Amino acid sequence: MTQAPVQFQARPLSSSTRARRLASYLFISPFFIFFLVFALFPTLFSFYLSFQKWRQTSGLGEMKFSGLENYHFTLFSDPWFWKAVGNTLILGVYGLLLQPIALVLAFAILVGLKRFRSLVTALYFLPYITSTVAVALIFTVVYSKNTGLLNAFLSTLHGLPLVGGLFPNGGVDWLGDPNTVKPAIALVVLWRYLGWNVLLHLSRMQAIPQDLYDAAKIDGASTGQQFRFVTLPQLMPMLFLTVSLTIIGQMQLFDEPYVLVGGEGGWAQAGLTVATYLYTTAFKFGDAGTAAAMGWILFAGILALSTLNNRIFGAQGRARGE
Amino acid sequence: MKTTRALGLSLTLLLSVSQAQTKKTLTIAAWAGNDKLIQSVLPGFLKTHPDLEVKVVGGLGYGDYHPALNNRLQSGNAEDVVSLGGPFVVGYANGNFFEDLSKAPYNAGASFQRQFVKSQVAVAMGTRGNFIAIPNDAPPNVMFYRRDVLKKAGVTPAQLSSSWEGYIAAGKKLKAQGVFITNGAADVASTAWTVNIPSGEGVYFDKDGKSLVDNARFVRAFTLAKQTRDAGLDSKIGGWTPEWYDAFKKGKVATIVVGSWFENILTDQIDKDGASNWGVALPPEKSNSVGGGAFFAIPASSKNKAEAWDLIRYLTVNTKTQAEVFKQSGNFPANLSALREPIFKEASAFFGGQQVRQTYALAARNMSAALPNKNYALAETIVGDQLTQVLEQGKDIKTALSEAKALIERRTSR
């Protein structure tokens, strides 16, 4: 016997349900209000601004539509922009060198430390939570040409017999010489983010089941081989994450270069990154439209690199992560 | 119920009465440091204006103050009086954010403006003759020199001040004693290219806004810098680094051409016990100082413009206020009449009994007006970069300057 289809009658919600739903929206609204005002609106406004010619000090009424002129100028007529792009990419490569160091260190902590594991990880993590400006200011003193710690240390090494010749006798102008500025900045960035990457990798490594290692040991694998054939493949999803974060972070690098060499990148703009150049264009030269266009060009660049990263690591990461 | 109603009614009555008795509040915005200065000189103003209350809105450092102020100006929420740093005034001079003080009811016309340092007045003048801000302090460029070092080398301050060629010749004598005359050859150039700017011309731009950085003035400045560097007369120490301070303290560098505010840094940080080691002279060929200092302006959005104008005049025209501010901070008054106050005739023990403030006053009167331009910061950066290439990489001066001109034109003609 077929049954008559059940008829659902639309009923108005009871006031208690309505009140509950309203309360839910109210509870999540603070975040959304903040997001709308401080994240979404500025993003949309900067996109709008990138097509205008505007000096902030002249007032909102002075905005003139200029089409793609800001983009055209930045991409084709501005030598400093491409210098900044080159610097940022070079710093990005230095940043990627962080990954192998972090991996090896995390594995060493995993294998070598049991009792002190948390303490050592926390110590490595400390630079990450220290104020960037404070860090960069201290490093300005460390990198000082005549009175800096680094040069003093190198002088001492220079005095060693046999290997002394490998080291310069102090007096290196780390932040002044265009050849040494980028390694100097990269060192500060590396020091800062090493702990963060170690923590991420270590947490993933600790989740790798011990049986895989046991099986490898039975097959006669040394520690190094265990790292290569057990740990690394299992780490692919985490590596995908850390490389993505590194790329995005390095492309937007601002704090360290700004405090170490200033908004104009020092000598020959050797320390000028896209982010610091953007800041200088907006607030020193007063050219808000071009700065906004630069920001969106940077976004396009980061998007392209992230997509590339996704292609390389993404598929593998997803496959292994299951 | 009855008690609540009674309470509510009496409270409302009380509030309305108190409203009638509250004074008018005048707000003035300033950056950290200046906010305390203004606060300290307010009592004199409040005595003559008992119906006013003045609130100083401060706390932000100089670097953060201006972007924050810009936001308030855009939204029409700025204070009644705002401080403006020299480099920022130019950007506002042709806009509509501030009152034109040359018009009624302020009437700060040509005769009023004459009491202030010419270069500062020029900075606050827009192209249509509007005068948007009153100069408050204006650091003149002076030359601080080490007496003991100069004496040992047989160099007199007059030789340094007379001409740039004389400065370099003295530098060679100092080098023979193992002392550098300056920390950076670049500073020689950036001071020298502010010399003898004809009226109607700016530092980097002419009156039509075209850049003139390849003219004779810049060629001379670059050549002087190159001579300084080639003869090894500069120490090449980066400015404001620990070594830089140390070089002055140990007498390894003999002179520095900088704003008069450097006196406080000398006495507090560099050479606390170095009394009589230092002296002050005029910079070579009376070079200008352009673009520094502080101003006060009235935003168009202010609701208390008359009172705001009174406060500004109290701070800038009243010579006693200017002298008091100088006494506390070393901020050199932009008001030339204030230079007659007794404090400026005091001899300075630190400078071996020299009446240094008279030297500052003389330097201030020498500052001529250079036409301001909103792309000043951009031109300064580009020319500075080319100068670095000339000094460090041996680039040809004429090539560097024509490249600078091309780069500036490209950016400013958009």
Give the confidence band of A92 by pLDDT, cuts at 50, 70, 90: very high
Give the confidence band of A63 by pLDDT, cuts at 50, 70, 90: confident
Half-sphere exposure for B108 (CA within 13 Å, toward CB): 25
The answer to whether residues A52 and A63 touch, using CB atoms and an 8 Å cutoff, is: yes
pLDDT tens figures, B150-173 = 888 888 888 888 888 889 999 898
Give the count of beta carbons closer than 10 Å to the beta carbon of residue B178: 9
Chain B interface includes A262 (CB < 8 A): no
Q: What is the mean predicted confidence (pLDDT) over A119-125?
A: 92
Report the pLDDT value the prediction gives residue B290, as an integer from 0 to 100. 55
Chain B interface includes A264 (CB < 8 A): yes
As a whole number of angstroms, the distance between CA B63 and CA B256 comes to 24
Are residues A264 and B96, on separate chains, in Cβ contact within 8 Å? no
Q: How far apart are the first and last CA of chain B?
A: 71
CB-based burial label for B83 (10 Å; 0-12, 13-18, 19+): buried
Are residues B238 and A145, on separate chains, in Cβ contact within 8 Å? yes
Query: How near does any CA of chain B get to the CA of A21, in Å?
Result: 35
Chain B interface includes A254 (CB < 8 A): no
pLDDT tens figures, A147-191 = 788 888 888 888 888 777 777 777 788 888 888 899 999 999 999
Size of interface A-B (CB pairs under 8 A): 67
Among B68-82, B257-271, B379-393, which stretch is predicted with the lowest mean pLDDT? B257-271
Give the confidence band of A3 by pLDDT, cuts at 50, 70, 90: low
Q: What is the mean predicted confidence (pLDDT) over B335-343?
A: 88
Report the pLDDT value the prediction gives residue B249, as an integer from 0 to 100. 85
Whether A285 shows a pLDDT value over 60: the answer reads yes
Edge-to-edge strand list for the sheet holding B52-57: B52-57, B24-29, B81-85, B294-297, B134-137
Q: What is the mean predicted confidence (pLDDT) over A62-84?
A: 90
Q: What is the mean predicted confidence (pLDDT) over B85-89?
A: 83
**Of B96, B242, B411, which is closest to A59 when you measure between CB atoms?**
B96
Nearest to B331 by CA among B135, B200, B196, B132: B135
Give the confidence band of A274 by pLDDT, cuts at 50, 70, 90: very high
Query: How near does any CA of chain B get to the CA of A88, in Å?
Result: 20
Are residues B381 and A286, on separate chains, in Cβ contact within 8 Å? no
B241: nearest CA in chain A? Answer: A144
Which of B180, B246, B301, B385 to substitute to test the interface with A, most A CBs within 10 Å? B385
The answer to whether residues A158 and A168 touch, using CB atoms and an 8 Å cutoff, is: yes
Assigned superfamily of B141-288+355-412: Periplasmic binding protein-like II (3.40.190.10)
Whether A45 shows a pLDDT value over 60: the answer reads yes
Give the confidence band of B195 by pLDDT, cuts at 50, 70, 90: confident
Give the confidence band of A35 by pLDDT, cuts at 50, 70, 90: very high
Please state, rounded to an integer, the average pLDDT across all residues of chain A: 86
User: What is the full DSSP assignment across A239-295?
Assistant: HHHHHHHHHHHHHT--HHHHHHHTTTTSGGGTT--HHHHHHHHHHTS--HHHHHHHH
The answer to whether residues A30 and B44 touch, using CB atoms and an 8 Å cutoff, is: no
Which of B381, B393, B413 to substitute to test the interface with A, most A CBs within 10 Å? B381
pLDDT tens figures, B43-60 = 999 999 989 999 999 988
As a whole number of angstroms, the distance between CA B361 and CA B346 comes to 12
Are residues A147 and B410, on separate chains, in Cβ contact within 8 Å? no
Sign of CA dihedral A132, A133, A136, A138: negative
Chain B interface includes A217 (CB < 8 A): no
pLDDT tens figures, B124-135 = 888 788 899 999
Report the pLDDT value the prediction gives residue A290, as an integer from 0 to 100. 93
Top pLDDT among A136 and B21 is at A136
Chain A interface includes B92 (CB < 8 A): yes
Give the confidence band of A319 by pLDDT, cuts at 50, 70, 90: low
**Of A61, A145, A286, which is closest to B91 when you measure between CB atoms?**
A286
CATH code of domain B20-139+291-345:
3.40.190.10
Sequence-separated (6 or more) residues with CB below 8 Å from residue A290? A70, A73, A74, A281
Report the pLDDT value the prediction gives residue B396, as an integer from 0 to 100. 92
Which of A57, A68, A80, A264 to substitute to test the interface with B, most B CBs within 10 Å? A57
Whether A110 shows a pLDDT value over 80: the answer reads yes
Cis peptide bond N-terminal to A178, omega within 30: no
Sequence-separated (6 or more) residues with CB below 8 Å from residue B37? B30, B325, B328, B329, B331
Query: How near does any CA of chain B get to the CA of A284, in Å?
Result: 6
Question: How far is C-alpha A111 from the chain's CA centre?
Answer: 28
| Residue indicated by tokens 């990269």 | A186
As a whole number of angstroms, the distance between CA A52 and CA A290 comes to 8
Report the pLDDT value the prediction gives residue B63, as an integer from 0 to 100. 75
| Percent above pLDDT 90 for chain A | 39
Give the count of beta carbons closer than 10 Å to the beta carbon of residue A312: 12
pLDDT tens figures, A225-250 = 888 888 888 888 888 888 888 999 99
Q: What is the mean predicted confidence (pLDDT) over B243-272?
A: 82
Top pLDDT among B365 and B321 is at B321
**Of B74, B392, B414, which is closest to A73 when you measure between CB atoms?**
B414
**Of A56, A144, A268, which is closest to B241 when you measure between CB atoms?**
A144
The reply to whether domains B20-139+291-345 and B141-288+355-412 share a CATH topology is yes
Top pLDDT among B16 and A138 is at A138
pLDDT tens figures, B134-145 = 999 888 888 899
Whether B19 shows a pLDDT value over 60: the answer reads no
As a whole number of angstroms, the distance between CA B342 and CA A136 comes to 46
Report the pLDDT value the prediction gives residue B372, as an integer from 0 to 100. 76
Q: Which residues of A fall within a CB distance of 8 Å from B389?
A: 268
Chain A interface includes B392 (CB < 8 A): yes
Query: How near does any CA of chain A get to the CA of B95, in Å?
Result: 5
Instruction: Please report the ipTM that was assigned to this predicted complex.
Output: 0.72
Report the pLDDT value the prediction gives residue A224, as an integer from 0 to 100. 84
Phi-psi domain of B282 (left: phi exceeds 0; alpha: psi -120 through 50; beta: other) = beta
Query: How near does any CA of chain A get to the CA of B87, in Å?
Result: 10
Are residues B414 and A144, on separate chains, in Cβ contact within 8 Å? no
Chain A interface includes B71 (CB < 8 A): no
A282: nearest CA in chain B? Answer: B67
Query: How near does any CA of chain A get to the CA of B107, in Å?
Result: 24
**Of B67, B378, B414, which is closest to A53 when you measure between CB atoms?**
B414
Chain A interface includes B235 (CB < 8 A): no
Chain B interface includes A180 (CB < 8 A): no
Whether B149 shows a pLDDT value over 90: the answer reads no
Report the pLDDT value the prediction gives residue A322, as an integer from 0 to 100. 43
| Percent above pLDDT 90 for chain B | 22
Chain A interface includes B238 (CB < 8 A): yes
Question: Which tokens sit at A13?
Answer: 């919600």
Chain A interface includes B313 (CB < 8 A): no
Chain A interface includes B77 (CB < 8 A): no
Q: Which residues of A fall within a CB distance of 8 Å from B94?
A: 58
Q: Which residues of B fall within a CB distance of 8 Å from A141?
A: 242
Report the pLDDT value the prediction gives residue B276, as an integer from 0 to 100. 79
Nearest to A222 by CA among A235, A210, A213, A234: A213
CB-based burial label for A91 (10 Å; 0-12, 13-18, 19+): buried
Chain A interface includes B64 (CB < 8 A): no
List the domain boundaries for chain B: 20-139+291-345, 141-288+355-412
User: What is the full DSSP assignment across B111-148?
Assistant: HHHTTB-HHHHHHTB-TTS-B--EEEE-PPEEEEEEHH
Top pLDDT among B64 and B226 is at B226
As a whole number of angstroms, the distance between CA B335 and CA B394 comes to 44
As a whole number of angstroms, the distance between CA B249 and CA B266 comes to 9
CA-atom Rg of chain A in angstroms: 26
List, in order of start, the domains of chain A with CATH numbers: 66-321 (1.10.3720.10)
Q: Which of residues 36-55 of A touch B (CB under 8 A)?
A: 53, 55
Whether B359 shows a pLDDT value over 90: the answer reads no
Please state, rounded to an integer, the average pLDDT across all residues of chain B: 85
